[in-house]
Structure 1
């Protein structure tokens, strides 16, 4: 697995360590974001277990997915990237929902592909500021950085490569992170829709070097968030999310 910080999670197709947490920042914030979504609406904005063909999706909690505590980078300008990989983002979202996913089926496309999706809603410009700080860190830390997980484990990333951002939402960013010890890349993408961030972490068990961002999954999730932001959220289709230890709204946090 690309990131040792993450604890294994049960998904229908496989068990893996994969995570995407909210990218943290140390004070940047913009104005003009809509109000954060309610817990009910945020839950409705989350993908259902069989809502996207070819994927098995189930609910997880942030702590079970990413371990405990706050990850700390060895360089302050890289801290937003470290926070991206931890379970205690700063600033905290108003509330969030976390799902794991795994690619299913017999085809070789995306074989072994799996990861996590976190949908987090913010107040007071937090979504804009979080994404802005992540972009700065991506530019400043292209040569890599070291970090210590919330559980005290040392990790080293040899490169942070900017990828083509998804053409979704109001703005977005995407990166490829290479873990030195694992020698395997992981892909992350963050899409802002109003006051909400849809965050994706993707890895591959069978062929890490061929890992690709699942565009159909990204599109489906962002479209649900868009509907929720406009007040047109509906219950997950294709069956509700299978719940783990996270409760109705995942790791929902009220600020």
Structure 2
């Protein structure tokens, strides 16, 4: 009897595992119309591999004017705020629509919106909310309120978001000074920021744009990552060193990119 029960448990475990393994395929096949326009983009640097799926069926005329993006929203070069979705909006019959606000924005730091008059906002599920000084000081938490974004911005309003180190839970920001990129992070213990020179571009390479997670030059793309990956992964007594690492764009979709960040990739086909 015990043997039969054991066999049944093993069979159930196998069914569960194989079922989970096929769940993504089932989900993908249920939406063939969109899946035909999805392309896979593997972005490699020394810090690991990032897999992106780009839905080229998204129709949004304003992607041509994109300046910065957050999680399901973006601002244009003129500062207007738009939200986007995999589904169409009835008011526009495409995949994006202008947010119901006249506020113009200067940038997005991770998911924190900074208006042209220097105020901070969160945007979630179509709701724009100004973050008050009192809420910033007390650290009230809701989607879009990141004290770190705001604290570092108040030290240097030219910052952009780079990455978060999972092993340290430390958010890393950057800023451009001439043709150099510096990292800047906030130390809660000392209530001060730490800065470090990451890279100075030479030989005609110049910074063209910075977005959430990416530095774009006229010669390539860079992400924050481990610069001595081979040594620090092989030797116990060698610490991992972090800096800007060029992304391997060989045979991947970055060669066809119009805009890239850690939450949105727009290809040239999407802005034709």
TM-score, normalised to structure 2's length? 0.27
Higher Cα radius of gyration: 2
Higher strand share: 2
